[in-house]
């Protein structure tokens, strides 16, 4: 699963590869700054950054946003079951907290 965030786009956040439950990241265009990313996350989640290196940052993505977005795009009950499995795995790694799941940020 990938969330593409482009601060220059009319709709800055888009859920991609919603049926891939073995990977999870937030992709931003090269040159995106921590400030740029933080400014457009909105209901997607919140930035967890230490310093100005966006590739060292994480986003605490809202589980509710993921569900709502996936279902708005046609996900069914089978999706929920697989998503729960992904969250269960993430929880064993300490990546789930307070209604969010942690994703690392990648550029490209």
What average pLDDT values come out for the chain (108 residues) when binned by 10 residues? 94 94 96 94 93 93 97 94 97 96 94
pLDDT of residue 10: 87
The tokens describing 40, both together, are 């457009």
Which 3-state string (H, E, C) describes 61-83?
EEHHHHHHHHHHCCCCHHHHHHH
pLDDT of residue 41: 94
| Four-point Cα dihedral 45, 24, 53, 94, nearest 10 | 80
What's this model's pTM, rounded to 2 decimal places?
0.92
Helices (H) and strands (E) in the chain, counts: 3, 7
């Amino acid at each position: 699963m990938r969330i593409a965030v482009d601060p220059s786009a009319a709709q800055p956040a888009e859920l991609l590869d919603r049926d891939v439950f073995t990977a999870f990241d937030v992709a931003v265009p090269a040159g995106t700054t921590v400030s740029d990313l933080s400014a457009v996350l909105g209901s997607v989640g919140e930035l967890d950054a230490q310093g100005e290196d966006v590739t060292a940052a994480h986003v605490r993505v809202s589980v509710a946003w993921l569900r709502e977005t996936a279902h708005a795009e046609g996900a069914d009950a089978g999706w929920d079951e697989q998503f729960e499995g992904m969250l269960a795995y993430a929880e064993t790694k300490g990546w789930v907290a307070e209604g969010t799941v942690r994703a690392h940020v990648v550029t490209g």
